[in-house]
Amino acid sequence: MGQDSNLICVQELAARMDAPGMRLLDCRFDLADAASGRRSYRKGHIPAAVFADLNEDLAAPVSATSGRHPLPAADTLATTLGRLGIDNSIDVVVYDANSGAFAARAWWLLRWLGHDNVRLLDGGYERWVASGHRVVSGDEKVEAEAFLACPRSDKILTTSELSSNVDAIASMRLIDARVAARFRGEVEPIDTVAGHIPGAANVPFQCSLNDDGSWQTKAELDALWNRVLGDDKERAWAVMCGSGVTACHLAISALEAGFTEPRLYVGSWSEWIRDPTRPVGVGPGPNPLMGPADMT
């Protein structure tokens, strides 16, 4: 899968369905109903796709100090990927219901372990169905493979690094992918504390999408990230969200625009607030990267 993009359209995927050496991961999930993704998968999925559960497959168990979706141990994740029929040579396509908000986590985890041949389906399952392509029901049986993990520590930003110098967070260019109302602390439907990490800026992941859940063009994404990060595409930055999931969507978006890949704060907001001594910001924040207009 020689790729100049981290996205794949339904037409290209349909044309490649019978090609050898490809694995599809169905990553549909609902934070309000953790079992709904598997139910939806069994009701109907893209042929040959296997199901990857956000809680069980793409995260470690929650601990007293972790966020809601901790980073799995590299060897544990490698075993999971092997069970899902993925080795180091196979091309992988990940998808969820539509936007890629959950499938982006699988994309990032594969890259963290050194597997770059992975793309996200633009428009997800909904676009596949709307385009008239075939779906199947039930579970898929795949032969287990051996996946060799080569974790990349340079892709990760930790809580200890952030909390050791809160005043430096703004210079780290940490971008929070949550919706603006959650970032400002006006609502918090999931976590126990509302607000944001002081010094972080806000770019909701939906900014990369059209109204129908499809991705914007590379030119549109380039304009977005030039507004957010400036014209130096090699300068380091980082992403976060509520639990290290939708932040991965921002990483794809910026890569599509030609910017360097950010580090991911895997613990994100749900880990930051585990310690009540860590500072919390409310309101729009300084947003030194955003310019005068407020992106909501």
- Which positions are annotated as active-site residues? 241
- Where residue 84 falls (left for φ over 0; alpha for ψ -120 to 50; beta otherwise) is alpha
Q: What phi and psi, each to the nearest 5 degrees, are found at residue 13?
A: -60, -45
What ranges make up the beta strands (E) of 45-146?
A: 50-51, 91-95, 118-121
Tokens of residue 212, six digits: 């129908």
Helix intervals (H) in the chain: 10-16, 36-43, 74-83, 103-112, 124-130, 159-163, 169-172, 180-183, 218-229, 247-256, 268-272
Least Cα distance to 273 among 162, 156, 108 occurs for 162
CA nearest 270: which of 296, 245, 295, 237? 245
Q: Which amino acid is at 65?
A: T
Scored b (16 or more CB within 10 A) or e, 223-250 reads: ebbeebbeeeeeeebbbbbbbbbbbbbb
